[in-house]
């Protein structure tokens, strides 16, 4: 189970998910992370992610490669936190309170819909804009 959080700079995996996937994270380059009320080290990794459609919809799952961090400690009820790097920098997300769901589209969907040019975020807390 994953939670989408527009306020999270990173996509964060629980240590259990990383272990279950046999992932190797780069422990030589820890990232400071504030998560679930505590400061901790997290470790960068790359992983294939996918979102499955709700049951009953005839829609293909969406899969992509993402740079994530693996948390040192985990106390949340979900196993993955989808954040700016790893999801929102790659896709346009639309949230529906009525459906209690969200949908993702290509990174340029918002720009085309509202005729807004993309912004290059450069270096900093958010990764540069990418188009898959």
The pLDDT mean for the chain works out to 86
Q: What is the pLDDT of residue 57?
A: 86
Assign domain 2-90 to its CATH architecture.
Beta Barrel (2.40)
Confidence of residue 18 (pLDDT cuts 50, 70, 90): very high
SS (H, E, C) 79-106: CEEECCECCCCCEEEEEECCCCEEEEEE
| pLDDT (tens digit per residue) in 69-89 | 999 989 899 999 999 999 999
Q: Can you tell me whether residue 33 is helix, strand or coil?
A: strand
Task: Using CB atoms within 10 Å of the CB of residue 51, give its burial: 0 to 12 exposed, 13 to 18 middle, 19+ buried.
Answer: middle
User: Domain limits of the chain?
Assistant: 2-90
Residue length of the chain? 132
Q: What is the pTM of this model?
A: 0.81
> In the prediction, which pLDDT does 92 show?
93
């Amino acid at each position: 189970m994953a939670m989408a959080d527009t306020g999270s700079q990173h996509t964060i995996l629980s240590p259990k998910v990383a272990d279950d996937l046999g992932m190797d994270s780069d422990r030589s380059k820890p990232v400071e992370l504030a998560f679930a009320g505590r400061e901790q080290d997290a470790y960068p990794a790359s992983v294939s992610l996918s979102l499955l459609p709700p049951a009953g919809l005839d829609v293909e799952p969406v899969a992509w490669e993402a740079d994530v961090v693996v948390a040192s400690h985990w106390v949340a009820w979900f196993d993955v936190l989808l954040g700016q790097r790893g999801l929102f920098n790659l896709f346009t997300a639309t949230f529906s309170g009525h459906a209690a769901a969200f949908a993702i589209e290509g990174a340029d969907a918002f720009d085309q819909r509202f005729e807004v040019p993309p912004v290059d975020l450069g270096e900093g807390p958010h990764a540069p804009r990418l188009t898959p």
